[in-house]
Amino acid sequence: MMSFKNLIDSHIHLLSMEDRQLAVDKIISEAENEGFSALLDVSIDNRDILKRTDFASRHSCVHTALGLAPSAAASDDWILELEKLDGYISQVMPCALGEIGLDYHWNYGSPEKQKHLFASQIRLANDRALPVIIHNRKADSDVLSILKEIPPLYGGIMHCFSADKDTAVRFLELGMKLSFAGNTTYRQSGALREAAAFLPLHSILVETDSPFLPPEGFRGKPNSPLNVAYVYTVIAELRGISIENLVEAVKINYFGLIKKRGDSQ
């Protein structure tokens, strides 16, 4: 593992890491020992909320986000799950609402159901004074339209941003941060790498999406937050800045948006 202090991984999935047989507690402890500042554990459904909050209570660097991903729209019970989420937010006090959004790559219910679920959760985030974490796959136009119609009042993150710089600017104009993942390290991701080099430093976050989207050199294996340094390294090289400068900027960007449970809002 490449070793730098104060790294932040703005998007991981601890339950999915467990599902892939990764030693989650060991990985988090190693990240803490390496001086990570934060790991943001993001939900896609209401599964095992107490297990996730237990991770956060035992590891000071773990932050928790709750939300229903577009896949929840495929269920007949999605409205009930939305009601449950509202209750869990009161119980858990997450630091963000997510991941939410639209995914037109997979058949997750109708686009109308997905848009209803997405819009409902932005309103919920606004009611609860929470930033949002947005999943967007092959849905740029509709995601932009909904964000314009219902602006997230407490900011948000475009998770695993994968489009070009022109699209990036449109999200930036709406006040969103853009989080770059392991696919930024792929040399065939030319437009994405151009966006990572072009955007103002105050707009950038870095993630692994563990256990998904491993960086170059680790493809075909479950991803780990311990690999986030490889993403930082590529982005710093693309921008022509030091890794230390990028790490500091990401830290400022992240903590300007995300507050740990119990911290002042």
For 186-228, how does the pLDDT look when each residue is reduced to its tens digit (9 = 90+)? 999 999 999 999 999 999 999 999 999 999 999 999 999 999 9
Angle formed by the axes of helices 165-173 and 190-198, to 10°?
40
Q: 126: how many CB neighbours lie within 10 A of its CB?
A: 16
For the stretch 70-127, pLDDT in tens is 999 999 999 999 999 999 999 999 999 999 999 999 989 899 999 999 999 999 999 9
Q: Which CATH code of 3.40.50.200, 3.20.20.140, 3.40.50.150, 3.40.1160.10 fits the domain covering 8-255? A: 3.20.20.140
| pTM of the complete model | 0.95
Nearest to 196 by CA among 234, 163, 235, 231: 235
Burial of 163 (0-12, 13-18, 19+ CB in 10 A): middle
Domain ranges of the chain: 8-255
> Does residue 264 have a pLDDT over 80?
no
Nearest to 133 by CA among 82, 179, 169, 171: 179
Q: What is the mean pLDDT of the chain?
A: 94
pLDDT at residue 215, as a whole number? 97
Decide: helix, strand or coil at residue 40. Answer: strand
